[in-house]
């Protein structure tokens, strides 16, 4: 039995029955059967159904936003934005998939030679709770448009969202079993990967989870895409527009109540502007409202689970014990729910959790550096490599640092990192491998096949 706890008040919302091993096998077999027919459906028909999914998402936006608020504490205005972004993604691939997967003619000594992009089959998606709709749609829209089937193992605290995602594709008119949900625990994932009908695996989540899933998939010789943790560095150089930099930094740090892989986490500030940046940054963090996720004015909801909130607090406390200075927050509030306040730590150094680990919550780490060279060195001094940003009025310098110096899958200049259907998304180092979104994402789970006719 799966119990869903509302993190805003600690009360149980509802329970769900887990999918039995026999039901798991049956669902996978049904998905394979659906794939055998779906793979031959022409792109215009697939696109029409994906457009239907976008419409269904928008029509039910409020219901889905409430569900996210109840299951994992997302502020309701953030839930609405997430649903709209999902609809945008569906529209994007409905319009672009055929072009992305059109055969590529290659001139050789053959009469005709070209490359085609054909679906693999049933793809398993292991997805997290922090963006319970977006992370799934980000995989499902391109995978289905490419002709694959999808089977979802969602996080155990968002089973309602998992079942609704299955509903969306069914109500949009897709074949009944082309996208299915498995309500199973993490211990059952290995057996699903071992199923010969599963042809590939994608995971968004923690680095340890990614290592475990990729190890099993590698054993079975199945391709994977991993989008894992991040400790995104934001470099603030001495010629930065501090007003704009602070606004972007605070917005990024508090996205989804701080629970985002690509949220800004380490703020690397040149010493000459450190005091001014700290003052403006702390003032802006203090102004953000923490409270009921159903309140339209709330900026910071509860953390998704009590154990995650407590783990975050332990990282903060340990960093303070090791010498970090706490300018704001840093204490568990005396109120119901898994809340943690906006927190600012400064004088963060190597050896502290706030420097070396991912802090998945509304906690900012300010790291002072002497100059640009040290800022780049500190930015790259991480096991992660997902996103990064640079703030400077010298656009050419910012672009040079972003393009050539920072070790990350994405690096933005004078704004915060965000995913966009038009651009590839993913990381390096322990932030994972492979890419989602854009033309690169839809080609991850296809057979890139050479055809040579003499």
Distance CA 63, CA 372 (A): 47
- Radius of gyration (Cα) for the chain, nearest Å? 22
At 232 the three-state DSSP class reads: strand
Q: What values do phi and psi take at 359, rounded to 5?
A: -100, 105
Q: Which of the four pLDDT bands, split at 50, 70 and 90, describes residue 357?
A: very high
User: Is 37 an annotated catalytic residue?
Assistant: no
**What band does 39 get if pLDDT is binned at 50, 70 and 90?**
very high
Render 300-363 in DSSP notation, one character per residue. Answer: B---S-HHHHHHHHHHHHHHHHTT-EEEE--S--SSSSS----EEEES--TTSHHHHS---SSE
Q: Which domains does the chain have, with CATH numbers?
A: 2-228+431-453 (3.40.605.10), 232-421 (3.40.309.10)
**Residues 17, 22, 26, 32, Cα dihedral to 10°:** 110
**Edge-to-edge, what's the strand order for the sheet holding 179-182?**
179-182, 149-153, 122-126, 198-204, 224-227, 432-433
**Amino acid 148: pLDDT:** 99
Residue 259 near residue 301, CB atoms below 8 Å: no
- What H or E segment, with its residue span, contains residue 446? strand 446-453
Please say if 261 is a catalytic residue: yes
Q: Which of 70, 227, 278, 372 is catalytic?
A: 227
Catalytic residue among 261, 284, 430, 436: 261
Segment 64-75 shows an average pLDDT of 98
Q: How confident is the model at residue 210 (pLDDT cuts 50, 70, 90)?
A: very high
Section 27-31 average pLDDT? 98
pTM across the whole model: 0.97
- What tokens were used for 102? 């059109």
326-338: burial string, b at 16+ Cβ within 10 Å, e else: bbbbbebeeeebb
Report the pLDDT value the prediction gives residue 111, as an integer from 0 to 100: 97
Tell me the average pLDDT across 193-218.
98
Three-class DSSP category at 126: strand
Cα(81)–Cα(288) distance, integer angstroms: 18
What are the structure tokens assigned to 151, written together? 């089977």
pLDDT, tens only, 128-173? 999 999 999 999 999 999 999 999 999 999 999 999 999 999 999 9
Alpha-carbon distance of 328 to 364, in angstroms, equals: 10
pLDDT, position 169: 98
**Rounded mean pLDDT of 414-422?**
98
Rounded (10°) angle between helices 159-171 and 61-72: 160
What value does the mean pLDDT take over residues 83-98? Answer: 98
């Amino acid at each position: 039995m799966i119990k869903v706890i509302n993190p805003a008040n600690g009360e149980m919302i509802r329970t769900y029955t887990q999918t039995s091993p026999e039901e798991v096998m049956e669902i996978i077999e049904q998905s394979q059967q659906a794939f055998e027919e779906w793979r031959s459906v022409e792109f215009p028909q697939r696109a029409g159904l994906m457009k239907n999914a976008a419409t269904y998402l928008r029509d039910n936006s409020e219901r889905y936003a409430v569900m996210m608020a109840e299951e994992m504490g997302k502020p309701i205005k953030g839930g609405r934005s997430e649903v709209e972004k999902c609809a945008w993604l569906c529209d994007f691939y409905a319009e672009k998939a055929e072009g992305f997967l059109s055969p590529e003619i290659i001139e050789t000594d053959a009469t005709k030679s070209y490359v085609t992009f054909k679906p693999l089959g049933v793809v398993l998606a292991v997805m997290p709770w922090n963006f319970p709709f977006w992370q799934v749609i980000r995989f499902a829209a391109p995978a289905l448009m490419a002709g694959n089937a999808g089977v979802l193992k969602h996080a155990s605290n968002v089973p309602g969202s998992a079942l609704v995602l299955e509903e969306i594709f069914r109500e949009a008119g897709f074949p009944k079993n082309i996208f299915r949900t498995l309500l199973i625990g993490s211990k059952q994932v290995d057996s699903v990967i071992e199923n010969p009908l599963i042809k590939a695996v994608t995971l968004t989540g923690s680095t340890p989870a990614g290592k475990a899933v990729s190890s099993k998939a590698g054993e079975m010789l199945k391709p994977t895409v991993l989008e894992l943790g991040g400790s995104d560095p934001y470099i603030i150089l001495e010629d930065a527009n501090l007003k704009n930099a602070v606004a972007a930094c605070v917005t990024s740090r508090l996205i989804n109540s701080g629970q985002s892989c690509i949220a800004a986490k380490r703020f690397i500030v040149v010493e000459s502007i450190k005091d001014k940046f700290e003052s403006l940054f702390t003032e802006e963090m203090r102004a953000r409202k923490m409270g009921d996720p159903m309140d339209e004015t709330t900026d910071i909801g509860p953390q998704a689970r009590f154990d995650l909130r407590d783990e975050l607090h332990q990282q903060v406390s340990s960093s303070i014990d090791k010498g970090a200075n706490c300018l704001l927050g840093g204490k568990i509030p005396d109120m119901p729910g898994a809340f943690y306040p906006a927190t600012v730590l400064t004088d963060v150094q190597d050896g502290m959790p706030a420097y070396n680990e991912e802090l998945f919550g509304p906690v900012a780490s300010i790291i002072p550096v002497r100059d640009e060279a040290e800022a780049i060195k500190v930015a790259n001094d991480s096991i992660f490599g997902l996103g990064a940003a640079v703030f400077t009025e010298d656009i050419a310098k910012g672009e040079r640092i972003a393009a050539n110096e920072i070790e990350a899958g994405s690096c933005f200049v004078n704004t915060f990192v965000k995913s966009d259907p038009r651009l590839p998304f993913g990381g390096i180092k322990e932030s994972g491998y492979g890419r989602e979104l854009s033309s690169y994402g839809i080609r991850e789970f296809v057979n890139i096949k050479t055809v040579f006719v003499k």
